[in-house]
Amino acid sequence: MNSLTPPGPLSLLAGCLLPVAGAFAIRAVEPGLLGIAAELVAFGWLVRDWRRTLRGLVFGAVAAAGIAFTTWLYGGQDPNTTGAAALRILYLVLPSALLAPLIRPSQLADHLAQRLHVPARGVVAASAALQRLDLIGESWRQVQRARRSRGLGADGSPLRWVRASAGSAFALLVVELRRSGMLAVAMDARGFEGAARRTWAEGAPWAAADTLVLTLAVGLAMLPWLLR
C-alpha cells in the first residue's frame, strides 16, 4: 500500500461520506462491531497522524455515549438496542476521523474545480476559509500567550478563568476579522473578483489509490445492509 500514490481529496471525501448510508442499517450490536472492524481495516492503513485521529474519535465517543445513555433510559433498557445506537454513531464518525486529517484545503479546491467543475470563486473562498479554520488553534494559543505575558492569564479562581477565556475569545475574534479583511483585499488585488478563466496551482490526477478508496467506501456503505 505504501507504494501507491496517496489518494486525492475527492476519494477521501467520499470515504468520509458514503459510509453514512450504511449506518442506518445497524440495528444490532454484532453487525455494528463487524462494520467498525471493517472500517478500521479499510482505512486504517491511510492514517498518518494518530493524534488528530484520536482527537476526532474522542468527540465521536462522547456523542456515542450520550446516545447510548438516552437510548438506555427511553428505549426499554435493552442492551442490544443501546449498543446498536452507539455503534451507529461510531460508524458515522470513524471514517471521518481516519480520513479527514489527510485532506488539504488547497488540494481539495484544485480537485473540486478541475474534476467536478465547481465554480472557481466559491471553491477559492471555501479553500481560504478552511485554511483559516486550520489555523484558529494556533491563533488561540498566540492570544493566550500574549495575554498571559501581560498578566491576564487564566490562572487562579474559576471566575478568573471565565473572564480570561471570554477575553481571549474576543481577542481571537478581532484577530481573525483583521486577517479575513487582509485576505479579502489580497484576493481582490489578484483578480479573484472578476476573472473569467483561472489557472490552478496543482493538477488533479485520479490515481489507483483513489479508485481503491472509493471502492472501499462503496463497500462500507453496503456492508451493514448486507449484514442486516
Place 4 in a pLDDT band, splitting at 50, 70 and 90. Answer: low
**Which of 71-75, 153-157, 205-209 has the weakest average pLDDT?**
153-157
Q: Does the structure show a pLDDT above 90 at 183?
A: no
Q: What is the mean pLDDT of residues 21-48?
A: 94
Q: What is the DSSP string of the chain?
A: -TTSPPP-HHHHHHHHHTTHHHHTT--SHHHHHHHHHHHHHHHGGG-S-HHHHHHHHHHHHHHHHHHHHHHHHHTTS-HHHHHHHHHHHHHHHHHHHHHGGG--HHHHHHHHHHHS---HHHHHHHHHHHHHHHHHHHHHHHHHHHHHHTT--S-SSHHHHHHHHHHHHHHHHHHHHHHHHHHHHHHHHTTTTT-SS---SS-----HHHHHHHHHHHHHHHHHHHH-
Highest mean pLDDT out of 5-9, 38-42, 112-116: 38-42
State residue 69's pLDDT score: 93
Average pLDDT value for the chain: 86
**End-to-end distance of the chain based on CA atoms, in angstroms?**
31
Higher-confidence residue of 155 and 36: namely: 36
Who wins on pLDDT, 14 or 157?
14
Percent of the chain with pLDDT over 70: 93
**What integer pLDDT is reported at residue 1 of this predicted model?**
44
Report d(CA 105, CA 126) in Å as an integer.
Answer: 8
Does residue 161 register a pLDDT over 50? yes
Q: Where does the pLDDT of residue 194 fall: very low under 50, low under 70, confident under 90, or very high at 90 and above?
A: low
Mean pLDDT, residues 100-109 taken together: 88
Residue 225: predicted pLDDT: 95
Mean pLDDT of 34-42: 95
Between 15 and 168, the higher pLDDT residue: 15
**What percentage of residues in the chain have a pLDDT greater than 90?**
44
Where are the chain's structural domains? Answer: 9-103+206-227, 106-189
